[in-house]
Structures are given as structure tokens and as C-alpha cells.
Amino acid sequence: MTQHRPRKRFGQHFLTDPVAISEIIELVETSADATLIEIGPGTGVLTGPLLEHCNRLVAVEIDRDLATSLRHRFADQPAFELIEIDALKLNLSDLVDRPVSIVGNLPYNISTPLLFHLFGQRRLIESMLFMLQKEVVERMAAAPGSKQYGRLSVMTQYFCEVEPLLEIPPEAFDPPPKVDSQMVRLQPRQTAPGDHPLEAALSKLVTAAFSQRRKTLRNTLAGLCDSEAILAAGCDPKARAETLSLDQFIELARRFNDQ
């Protein structure tokens, strides 16, 4: 394969360490007859081993040169499919009609919006195994009261069970990123369709509550929930957002919907 120069605009850092590659493949949980979706296959170092673990693999790649190389490399693999698209525009219902597993080394520059894009399609997702910036994984899994706890923590834990896994150092990549990376497994919670109004309310409240971390709920939620509603949800209006649990935020969202 012709040497590909990593492109900054796509946030490309290619995994090259064979030990890390092997350890990641061991984390994949799927059956031989399953469909896998790989986001950001890059040079295909995970794609080849992943093809041995599934009946169908759909690779999602935005880089035209990489896509051409991947098509050539896996031309003799009937299980391999490739679509050239921005993952932020990925519509799973165009590809599958039942829940699938997703694997990917997500570009750090779009990881958070991409996660929320996928959360919105979680009814077609069985599980997700992603490589992310370690700091992002820490925020996703953070508990109330910690400085990492914020909007990403609450919303990720509302949509999914979060399991931080293998840590991967910069030297496992080319070029080496300036940060450590970590694998994380996300198991979507399949909430009922009727929960959509609650999800919208929760997102609005959580965004407002963490918009100014040092201010109290009484201030950050002004115009959304008054002190009486905050108290009715079992929360202290003088508390800061970082002290509230996911369940407390959900109860606040219910009160907000009932107003």
C-alpha cells in the first residue's frame, strides 16, 4: 500500500502498534454471523482482523485516498463493504434493519458530536467499542462531585452503560498524538419511544446547569425551573450542577415537563 500522509483536517492518527491492535481485537464482542460497522478504518489495521469476527463489515471512511486503498486491499473479501461518507452524516437505518455493533478509532476533533449523533440512533446499536482521547473517556465515566463530571457525563450515562477499558499510549500511533488514548465500551440503554420528550428536557436542563459551573442551580436554571420545582425534584437550589446524580437530573427533567 502506498504510504498515506495523515491529514490534520481529519484528525488522523493511525494505530501501528501490533500489541495494541491485538489487544483491541480481543475486546470485540460479536458473533460470526453479525454485522459490524467500523468508523474510521484508516489504513485497515483493525479491518482485516475484524473481518474474521463477523459476517459483514461496513467500513465508514471520509478520506478518498484511504477509501481507494481499502477497496483495493479487501477486494477479495465478500464480507467487506465501504461507504465514503462523513460519519456525522451516517444514517444506520440505510445500512441495517436490526441492532449492530460499532467499532472505531474516532477522530478526536469530532468525537463528542459523533457520539451524540450515534446516541440518537441507539435503537439500531447493540454495542459500541471506541478509541477516544483518555480525557474524554474520563469525562464520560465521571461520577458526581468530580471535576470531570459534566454534560458529557450525564448524557452519556443516560444513553449508555459506560465501561472504560484499555489505555493506549501516544507511541502506538503514527503520528503520535499529544494525548493518551483509551478504549471504551458503550452499551446503549433501550429506553421506550415515549421517553423522547424527557430526553429533550434532560438535554436542555443539563446544558443550562453546566453552562456556568460555579453558579447554583437557582441561577443556571432560571427561566426553566424555579426554586420550588428544584426542591420538588429533591435537589437543593443552592447546589451546583456537578453535585447532582443522573437520577436527580432525570427527576428535574420530569418536573420541567410537568410544568
Residue 101: give its domain's CATH number.
3.40.50.150
Beta strands 56-61; 35-39: pairing state: parallel
254 shares a domain with 146: no
In this predicted structure, what is the pLDDT of residue 2? 44
pLDDT, averaged across the chain: 91
Same domain, 137 and 30: yes
Across the range 210-235, mean pLDDT stands at 92
- Residues 105, 44 within the same domain: yes
Residues 128 and 236 in one domain: no
Query: What's the pTM value of the predicted model, to 2 decimals?
Result: 0.91
Q: Which residues pair with 14 in a beta bridge?
A: 174
Whichever domain contains 216, its CATH number is: 1.10.8.100
Domain range enclosing 234: 194-258
Determine, yes or no, domain membership for 3: no
Between 229 and 193, the higher pLDDT residue:
229
Amino acid letter for position 255: R
Q: What CA–CA distance (Å, rounded) separates 10 from 49?
A: 24
- pLDDT of 14 > 90? The answer is no
- Evaluate if residue 6 carries a pLDDT over 50: no
Query: With pLDDT > 70 as the criterion, what percentage of the chain qualifies?
Result: 93
Mean pLDDT, range 168-196, rounded to an integer: 87
Cis peptide bond upstream of 78, omega within 30:
no
186, part of any domain: yes
With b meaning 16 or more CB within 10 Å and e meaning fewer, what string describes 215-236? ebbeebbeebbebebbeebebe
**Can you give the pLDDT at residue 1?**
41
pLDDT value of position 223 = 87
Band (pLDDT 50/70/90 cuts) for residue 156 is very high
Task: Return the pLDDT at 184.
Answer: 98
Q: How many domains does the chain have?
A: 2
- Residue 192 above 50 pLDDT? yes
240 and 146 within one domain: no
188 band by pLDDT with thresholds 50, 70 and 90: very high
- The residues, ordered by sequence, that sit 6+ positions from 157 with a Cβ below 8 Å of its Cβ are 140, 141, 246
In-domain check, residue 2: no
